[in-house]
């Protein structure tokens, strides 16, 4: 078995847990934050720099890679690991989220979704079979089921219909999957803001006995309280022997709260997007490094952070780089921000192992 | 003596030489290409990445640093080495070139030059004393005299007057220099395209017995034949016991030709500027990585290059990054391009040491 999840420790006061998810490209120690490398690059960082952040599994986006450079080219390059120079585990999403949220002129039918390519205007059809085929071709360790993502505020019947379709599409994804020995297919719990739909979706999914499960559709502009409620209802229904991945969430509080409900994996574009806008994540806060207050601040961004940025440069230098719109500023802040979020989940991991989760992270759980 | 230049080997067929220039921040093995870090950052590279290129001395621009973040801030940060995290030798230019070539509304008098700051519109006066004071405050290992740079096509009498003024300004620079033990002040031979002015400038300069000499005013849009002629006339007049720096030149052919006339140091923005435009320097050629021919080319940029880019990624991946306008593409190409030009000068160095300069680099000397 090339994929297995071992629980090393359960929290004595919450549903939090510490585990190891074994993949063909190495282990992922959970709970853990995963950075996003949309176009087979975590923006601004070399794989060598990325490795110093403590990141283990990295995401890439099927939709974007299908458009540029195309999965066939990546296959010819020897697969996505070889292509982007990342030797650790990689996860690709299904492309569904981008098609439903970014594409214009999309048209949804039972067979799948058609949309106009933003690159060359051609009509593209994405179906469960095609998404899995693209992901099989890309060759990531974890691939995601192609699901229908209704808008966050969709009414009950719309979400119910999308959730039903998501099961039918999952069956087609499983049938289409050609490389189950090399690539673990995760199912996605949808159901919008409706607890009963989330519960029935989770219960239906576990019958498929998949190697891992994700909770989707909670990240985009949703209220933190809603994320918390949905995860509290859903996560405990998912099998304890499989990893649980909360898609698109990467804020301190939501990670802490949902780890307490049993979530193991997170991803979010925040650390690199903030980095490119001159914002640093420091001990739970967001600092705009362009601010005048940092101009003559010669201390490190965070004296406790082991990252290259904090170990080498001052806030004043980062302020100078950001004010001067120097590329290095964005790279150094992205490097720090990813390290910060990975470390946050690593520290929670250590706390759970030492029976100190509530003691050390209780202030995040309110 | 904190500064000294030792000649290790003289070429038996040309005026080329191998030396070591000792500075307070370590040795510079010559001949050697120096990358440019205008705003106290070599664009897109961390100091750790820069170190892997083989670069030893790095440039920074006094004019740009005076405008942002200001020399006083850099002094408070502990000096430019501490500020930018580069532990090796650093050279600052005088600001003269930028004032004469970039500034609007400049006004030249015997006392110095006034110009309008492009940053906030304030009138700034740059004099020999002020340039040296700013450079003393920045704290680089090598500082440059403030000279008048007439336009490349200026007539004889204009260039003659500017060259005369440059001597008078050099005397004022020497008088103003407060840190001769820590910072070596280099004089600059001007004289435009007029051999007799270059000769008289070089002869006048050596009377000052400076720790190093530069040849200026040859890089901007000049014909290669003219660069060659000026350097062939000028360089041999400069003392053999001091380093010779050809300002702003960093093309393969011009470096090889002028090394043969006894030049030791070079700088140029080409490797990073090309990198930011998706162009790689490979074995003497310029390759636009965006070109379709690289799309499915899975070999390294240059199999013989030891840089991280060539050791890790394919041309196809670089093509993908450049086409996608990903920051990492610019970083990886800049890293390679600097390595390439530093290695070119290193290989010439090895060839001179082994009495193979003409044999191996003769094809560059025509």
Among A31, A6, A60, A15, which Cα is nearest to A341's? A31
Q: What percent of chain B has pLDDT over 90?
A: 87
Residue B240 binned pLDDT confidence (cut-offs 50, 70, 90): very high
In chain A the first and final C-alpha atoms are separated, in Å, by 39
Q: What is the mean pLDDT of residues A239-261?
A: 96
For residue A221, pLDDT beyond 70: no
Domain residue spans of chain A: 18-268, 270-366
Residue-level pLDDT at A1: 60
pLDDT tens for residues B156-179? 999 999 999 999 999 999 999 999
Whether this model's pTM surpasses 0.95: yes
Q: What whole-number distance in Å separates Cα of residue B228 and Cα of residue A337?
A: 49
Pairing state between β A142-144 and A184-189: parallel
pLDDT tens for residues B136-149? 999 999 999 999 88
Residues 6+ away with beta carbon under 8 Å from A228: A254, A257, A258, A261
Which of residues A158 and B119 earns the better pLDDT score?
A: A158
Give the Cα-Cα-Cα angle B90, B94, B97 (nearest 5 degrees).
Answer: 120
B37 φ/ψ angles, rounded to the nearest 5 degrees: -120, 70
Q: What is the mean pLDDT of residues B42-63?
A: 98
Which of B85, B311, B315, B323 has the most A C-beta neighbours within 10 Å, making it the best mutation to test the interface with A?
B85
E strand or H helix at B262:
none
User: Token digits for A186?
Assistant: 């995760």
Instruction: Name the region of B262 (left: φ>0; alpha: ψ -120 to 50; beta: rest).
Output: left
Residue-level pLDDT at A334: 98
**Which chain A residues have a beta carbon less than 8 Å from that of B323?**
68-69
* CATH topology classification for B4-267: TIM Barrel (3.20.20)
- Confirm or reject contact between A43 and chain B (CB < 8 A): yes
Residue A100 binned pLDDT confidence (cut-offs 50, 70, 90): confident
Residue-level pLDDT at B104: 65
What is the 8-class DSSP label of residue B256?
Answer: H
List active site positions of B: 93, 267
**Which chain A residues have a beta carbon less than 8 Å from that of B83?**
314, 316-317, 320
- Angle of the B327-353 helix axis to the B315-323 helix axis, nearest 10: 140
**Which chain A residues have a beta carbon less than 8 Å from that of B332?**
46
Which of B37, B41, B86 has the most A C-beta neighbours within 10 Å, making it the best mutation to test the interface with A?
B41
For residue B152, pLDDT beyond 80: no
Residue-level pLDDT at B289: 98
Annotation says A267 is catalytic: yes
Among B246, B213, B202, which Cα is nearest to B227's? B246
- Confirm or reject contact between B106 and chain A (CB < 8 A): no
Residue-level pLDDT at B146: 96
For residue B103, pLDDT beyond 70: no
**Which chain B residues have a beta carbon less than 8 Å from that of A292?**
none
Is the distance from CB of A50 to CB of A86 less than 8 angstroms? Answer: yes
Smallest Cβ–Cβ distance between A77 and the set B41, B314, B323 belongs to B314
Residue B222 binned pLDDT confidence (cut-offs 50, 70, 90): low
Rounded to a whole number of angstroms, the CA Rg of chain B reads 20
3-state secondary structure of A337: helix
**CATH architecture designation of domain A18-268:** Alpha-Beta Barrel (3.20)
Residue-level pLDDT at B223: 80
Nearest C-alpha in A relative to B42: A328
Q: Is A104 exposed, middle or buried (0-12, 13-18, 19+ CB in 10 A)?
A: exposed
Residue-level pLDDT at A103: 62
Q: What whole-number distance in Å separates Cα of residue B140 and Cα of residue B91?
A: 5
For residue A83, pLDDT beyond 90: yes
User: Token digits for B33?
Assistant: 């290409």
Residues 6+ away with beta carbon under 8 Å from A159: A150, A190, A191, A192, A193, A194, A197
In chain B the first and final C-alpha atoms are separated, in Å, by 40
Q: What whole-number distance in Å separates Cα of residue A271 and Cα of residue A336?
A: 8
Residue A220 binned pLDDT confidence (cut-offs 50, 70, 90): low
E strand or H helix at A347:
helix A327-353
Smallest Cβ–Cβ distance between A43 and the set B47, B317, B326 belongs to B326
**Which chain A residues have a beta carbon less than 8 Å from that of B43?**
326-328
Q: What whole-number distance in Å separates Cα of residue A251 and Cα of residue A219?
A: 10
- Confirm or reject contact between A45 and chain B (CB < 8 A): yes
User: Token digits for B152?
Assistant: 């490349």
User: Token digits for A122?
Assistant: 């051609």
Smallest Cβ–Cβ distance between B84 and the set A39, A68, A317 belongs to A317
Annotation says A93 is catalytic: yes
Q: What whole-number distance in Å separates Cα of residue A186 and Cα of residue A143?
A: 6
Quote the minimal CA–CA distance from B296 to chain A in Å.
7
What's the mean per-residue pLDDT of chain A? 95
Residues 6+ away with beta carbon under 8 Å from B360: B347, B351
| Residues comprising chain A, all counted | 366
For residue B233, pLDDT beyond 70: yes
Q: What is the mean pLDDT of residues A187-209?
A: 94
Taking a contact as any Cβ pair under 8 Å apart, which residues of chain A between 286 and 345 contact chain B?
Answer: 295-296, 298, 308, 312-314, 316-317, 319-321, 323-324, 326-328, 330-332
Q: What whole-number distance in Å separates Cα of residue A43 and Cα of residue B327?
A: 6
Residues 6+ away with beta carbon under 8 Å from A175: A129
- Confirm or reject contact between B69 and chain A (CB < 8 A): yes
Q: What is the mean pLDDT of residues A186-207?
A: 95
For residue B101, pLDDT beyond 80: no
Smallest Cβ–Cβ distance between B326 and the set A39, A323, A326 belongs to A39
- Confirm or reject contact between B52 and chain A (CB < 8 A): no
User: Cβ separation of B45 and A76 shorter than 8 Å?
Assistant: no
Q: What whole-number distance in Å separates Cα of residue B344 and Cα of residue B364?
A: 12
**Partners of B185 in the beta sheet?**
B143
For residue A13, pLDDT beyond 90: yes
Which of B299, B326, B338 has the most A C-beta neighbours within 10 Å, making it the best mutation to test the interface with A?
B326
- Confirm or reject contact between A44 and chain B (CB < 8 A): yes
């Amino acid at each position: 078995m090339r994929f297995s999840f071992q629980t090393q420790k359960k929290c004595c006061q919450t549903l939090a847990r510490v585990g190891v998810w074994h993949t063909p490209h190495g282990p992922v120690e959970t709970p853990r934050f995963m950075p996003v490398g949309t176009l087979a690059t975590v923006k601004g960082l070399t794989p060598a720099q990325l490795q110093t952040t403590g990141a283990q599994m990295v995401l890439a986006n099927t939709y974007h890679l299908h458009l540029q450079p195309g999965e066939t080219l990546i296959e010819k390059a020897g697969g996505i690991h070889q292509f982007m120079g990342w030797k650790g585990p990689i996860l690709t999403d299904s492309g569904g989220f981008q098609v439903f949220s970014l594409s214009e002129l999309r048209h949804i039918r039972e067979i799948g979704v058609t949309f106009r390519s933003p690159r060359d205007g051609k009509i593209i059809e994405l179906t469960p079979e095609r998404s899995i085929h693209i992901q099989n071709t890309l060759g990531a360790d974890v691939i995601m089921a192609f699901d229908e993502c209704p808008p966050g505020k969709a009414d009950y019947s719309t979400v119910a219909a999308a959730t039903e379709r998501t099961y039918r599409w999952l069956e087609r994804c499983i049938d289409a999957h050609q490389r189950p020995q090399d690539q673990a297919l995760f199912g996605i719990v949808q159901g919008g803001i409706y607890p009963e739909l989330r519960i029935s979706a989770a219960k239906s999914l576990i019958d498929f006995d998949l190697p891992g499960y994700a909770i989707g559709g909670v990240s985009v502009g949703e209220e933190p309280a809603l994320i918390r409620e949905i995860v509290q209802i859903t996560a405990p229904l998912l099998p304890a022997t499989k990893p649980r991945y909360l898609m698109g969430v990467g804020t301190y509080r939501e990670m802490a709260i949902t780890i307490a409900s049993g979530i193991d994996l997170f991803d979010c574009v925040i650390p690199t997007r903030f980095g490119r806008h001159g914002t640093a994540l420091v001990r739970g806060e967001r600092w705009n490094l362009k601010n005048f207050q940092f101009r003559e601040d010669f201390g490190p961004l965070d004296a406790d952070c082991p990252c290259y940025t904090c170990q080498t440069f001052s806030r004043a230098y980062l302020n100078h780089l950001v004010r001067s719109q120097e590329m290095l500023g964005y790279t150094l802040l992205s490097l720090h921000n990813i390290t910060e979020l990975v470390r946050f989940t690593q520290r929670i991991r250590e706390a759970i192992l030492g029976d100190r989760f509530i003691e050390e992270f209780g202030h995040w759980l309110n």
